[in-house]
A = this chain, B = another copy of it.
Amino acid sequence: MKVRLMFIGKTVSNALKELEQTYEKRLSHYVSYERIELPDVKQAASLTTSQLKDKEGQLFLSKISEDQHVILLDEQGTSYTSEGFALVLANHELHSAKKITFCIGGAFGFSDELYTRSNGKISLSKMTFSHQMVRTIFLEQLYRACTINKGEKYHHS
């Protein structure tokens, strides 16, 4: 299965960078994983929230082709248990040849255009996590889902 994780801006904290790399490395043993780090929008401070979301949306959409199944990480999305999320991945692998692309939005969320293009939304929590930390939290869930689908011990260790 091909899994892509796409977000805006570099990870600033070295500690978070290290954790991302740890889970990306583990994940790559289970799926063909691609990380797409989009550049920050230039002169973002001079834009309105809506203009910034649109510009960020265009960046996301420029990397999304027809053959992508696009899932947004969104507070309004469906919440799953780790087992439920693992099942979502397993079902996708079974029934679709499309690459699955997960998008983590900027501070103000996604553009309308990106919502329209997307195929689904998932929520990690009702709580708001820091944008940079979400990357690590989600990578750990992706890795966890892979171990669940393989019947490996990690999930209950």
Chain B residues within an 8 Å CB radius of A136: 133
| Interfacial residues of chain A within 69-113, with CB under 8 A of chain B in the complex | 79-82, 84-85, 107
Cβ of A140 within 8 Å of any chain B Cβ, yes or no, is: yes
Residues of A within 8 A of B (CB): 13-16, 18-19, 22, 79-82, 84-85, 107, 124-130, 133, 136-137, 140-141, 144, 155-157
Chain B residues within an 8 Å CB radius of A144: 128, 130
Q: Is the CB of A128 within 8 A of B82?
A: yes
| Assembled-state Cα–Cα distance A137/B141 (Å) | 14
Chain B residues within an 8 Å CB radius of A18: 14-15
Q: Is the CB of B133 within 8 A of A137?
A: yes
Partner of A125 from the list B14, B124, B130, B155 (CB cut-off 8 Å) is: B124
Q: Is the CB of B140 within 8 A of A133?
A: yes
Chain B residues within an 8 Å CB radius of A137: 129, 133, 137
Q: What are 23 inter-chain pairs, A to B, with CB distance below 8 A?
A: A13-B22, A14-B18, A15-B18, A15-B19, A79-B125, A79-B126, A80-B126, A80-B127, A81-B126, A85-B127, A107-B157, A124-B125, A124-B127, A125-B125, A125-B127, A128-B144, A128-B155, A129-B137, A129-B140, A129-B141, A130-B144, A133-B136, A133-B140
